[in-house]
A and B are shown apart, each in its own frame.
Chain A
Amino acid sequence: MNLEKVIFGFFVVLALTLNFGFFLGEMDNPAHHNVYELFAVIVVNLVATALKFGDRSQIGAVLFATSLVADLELLAAATYWTFAVHITGTGLTPDVMSSIISLTGGALLANVISTIILVSETLFNRL
């Protein structure tokens, strides 16, 4: 058993499931999307990215790239949220909310790809 792989797998799958949880619900309804959940997704995703720093293998590099994409989109969503609520003061109107959710939807896709790569790497190693 490779402990490092267990930890990394844990964080990748946690990021995916949390992301899915946040994404779930009516797209423009702020009541369906919890800000703390978004916070948790971002933190877990950043950890998963950090765990891939320094991996010189080919698959490690691809995993690093996909989790970077997820980070980028989640951070964009969070920044937009902050701007809408605190800086411009528009509040969480339906169109602001749907932009945020579509960004996290993109991040969700990147996380799905990460998980697929992770699973297939494990399977191929057994071959």
Chain B
Amino acid sequence: MPATVDLSRVTFIVMREMRSPLVALIIVYSISILGMVFIPGIEIEGETQYLSIFHAFYFMTYTATTTGFGEIPIRFSDAQRFWAIICLYGSVITWFYAIGTIIRLFQNPFLSRAFSEWKFSRGVQRIQGPFVVLCGFGDTGSVLMRGLSDYGLPAVVIDNVEERIKALQLRDYKVVMPSFCGDASVPKHLIEAGLLRSNCMAVIAITNSEEANLKISALARLLNPNVSIISMSKVEVFEETLATLGGDVHIVDPFKTFAKVLAAAMHNPGFYSFNNWLVRDKNATLDRYIMPPKGTWVVCGYGRMGHEVNRVLSKYGIKTAVIDPHDSKEEEQIDRYIVGRTTSKTLAAAGIENAAGILAGTNDDGHNLGILLNARYFNRDLFTIVRQNRHENEVAFRATEVDMTMQPTLVAARKILFLLIAPLLKTFNRYLLEDIPGRQEKMEAVIHSLREKVGHQRPHLVTIDFTREKSKAVIELLDQGKKVLLSDLIKDPRGREHKLDLVVFVIKSSEQEIVLPPDSYEIQENDQLLFCGTGLAHRLFNATINSEYKLFYIQHGVYKPRSYLARWLVKKMDKVGV
């Protein structure tokens, strides 16, 4: 057990440092006590009084700590008083020495480190349910943590910047989030963070350093072959290495994710708003349809985002003009490549006046906003995509009223969150975006029913596991050989005439994934279900699958008799329920 090793280390250090002060205290106390015992006191009725060892110790206890109750139990003789002076100064100085040593010890940064390490691994061990290990608490990490807290999934955080960890400890999360300041790519820290524990679901490597992410992922795979690994990577070389680690590995690249969403929006106008609504983006509604136009596009900044967007646009046969300060060699898919900073001159050269859309995709927010204003001066009807690099510039970006804002940290955080809490969403999205006739109508239908059922309330994306622990009542019925239909579960347990406000997306049943399952679907043990609905629907659904009485009512329309007496009566009268 790593925690006990560290605990013994802390106690060991304290003990070792306290050795000499303790020895000094013992010596001073014993000499003082012996002196008080042997020095004759005053005479009472011709008999010299001596202090007992107990009284001498009592006297020393309050004298050495400078409490000073006086001469107890009887008046002291002058000889005793003289010795008391010596004892007082000697013992008080020794105490100061001892206390000073303790304080110095606790001020030692290494000890406080060992102590916080110990506290951290204790905190990790107290987590009972599933949890994730989060390496790196930057912008992405902090958005992700907020989401995890909303879904009640604890995260164990390691970050090497102390300020971030201190900021984290001040936040109010709904679940315990143990945090530790240290290098996450050190195996010992990963183990302390609970990597080897059986309830560790995933390791998320989203530090600022690509190398560190790779190292963390590799270490996690070596130490625990079963754990899921989610890593953020923006460099292709690392992505290849990550993909060959084996097991369950997800590589999150915010730019690729955005490119996918953009591509989806190209042929499915509802998807962008639907996706934004699902991730609970502010001001996102299901009513807005966004379709990037198919004219010429101007791509400002040919970085990672520029590359990805350009790839999507050219896939759809759209001509692009790229403006970037650096010359590029791969120009096959680019109509015009203009070397230089984006200014009104280069914009004009790129043909902004006749362009249909523009991407402001540099890694400088001020520059991106400038590009937007510049471009709009030339062409009012541009379709705009802008990259927002820093969260703090939110207000400025909102004021520009762009068609699509891409915030890499937010995109990555949401992607990771959904990988953790709604793994089936990937299947659902893939299904919706398949380029098959009729799919777009299906998507319309989904959006329509979501609008009807959830509307302006916050959407809850919920994954339900039909296991013995999480849906007791359903499994009990299945054990008895009875059927539980999906149409039963989506009824309102308060009145079964009504349906709950939710839309079932996917059911996964032993490696088979059924998208938009029919109501007649029969639930099996270990099925996994993904639905989107209101918070109330989520609570009621959970109540149904865990209460035999509610499930009985939903299936039969009458109430299940609760007591022995009622059960006997119902049986006697040959009825199903009351």
A: residues with CB less than 8 A from B are 2-5, 8, 50-57, 60, 125-127
A64 (CB) vs chain B CBs: closest residue? B563
Q: Give A50 to B564 CA distance when docked, in angstroms.
A: 9
Task: Chain A residues near B548: list those with CB within 8 A.
Answer: 56
A4 and B547 in contact, given A125-B494, A126-B494 (Cβ under 8 angstroms): no
A4 and B562 in contact, given A56-B548, A57-B547, A57-B549 (Cβ under 8 angstroms): yes
Task: Chain A residues near B565: list those with CB within 8 A.
Answer: 50-51, 53-54
Which of A4, A56, A126, A127 touches B566 (beta carbons < 8 Å)?
Answer: A4
A54 and B578 in contact, given A2-B559, A4-B559 (Cβ under 8 angstroms): no
Q: Give A126 to B540 CA distance when docked, in angstroms.
A: 11
Do A2 and B567 touch across chains, with their CB atoms under 8 A apart?
Answer: no
- Rounded to whole Å, the gap between the CB of A22 and the closest CB of chain B is 26
6 A-B contacts, Cβ less than 8 Å apart? A51-B563, A51-B565, A55-B563, A56-B562, A57-B547, A57-B549
Q: Give A8 to B559 CA distance when docked, in angstroms.
A: 14
Do B563 and A53 touch across chains, with their CB atoms under 8 A apart?
Answer: yes
Q: Does B561 contact A (CB under 8 A)?
A: yes
- Rounded to whole Å, the gap between the CB of B564 and the closest CB of chain A is 4
Not counting A54-B563, A57-B547, A60-B562, a sample of 13 additional A-B residue pairs whose C-beta atoms are within 8 angstroms of each other reads A3-B578, A4-B562, A4-B563, A4-B566, A5-B559, A50-B565, A52-B563, A53-B563, A53-B565, A56-B548, A57-B549, A126-B494, A127-B536
Do A55 and B562 touch across chains, with their CB atoms under 8 A apart?
Answer: yes
Which of A2, A51, A52, A125 touches B578 (beta carbons < 8 Å)?
Answer: A2
- Interface residues in B, total, Cβ within 8 A: 14
- Rounded to whole Å, the gap between the CB of B473 and the closest CB of chain A is 10
Task: Chain B residues near A127: list those with CB within 8 A.
Answer: 536
Task: Chain A residues near B566: list those with CB within 8 A.
Answer: 4, 51
- Rounded to whole Å, the gap between the CB of A47 and the closest CB of chain B is 10
Task: Chain A residues near B561: list those with CB within 8 A.
Answer: 4
* 8 A Cβ contacts from B543-562 to A: 547-549, 559, 561-562
- Rounded to whole Å, the gap between the CB of B578 and the closest CB of chain A is 4
Q: Give A81 to B537 CA distance when docked, in angstroms.
A: 54
Task: Chain B residues near A52: list those with CB within 8 A.
Answer: 562-563
B548 (CB) vs chain A CBs: closest residue? A56
- Interface flags, B353-380, vs A, CB<8A=1, else 0: 0000000000000000000000000000
Task: Chain B residues near A126: list those with CB within 8 A.
Answer: 494
Q: Give A53 to B568 CA distance when docked, in angstroms.
A: 12
A51 (CB) vs chain B CBs: closest residue? B563
B553 (CB) vs chain A CBs: closest residue? A2
Task: Chain B residues near A5: list those with CB within 8 A.
Answer: 559
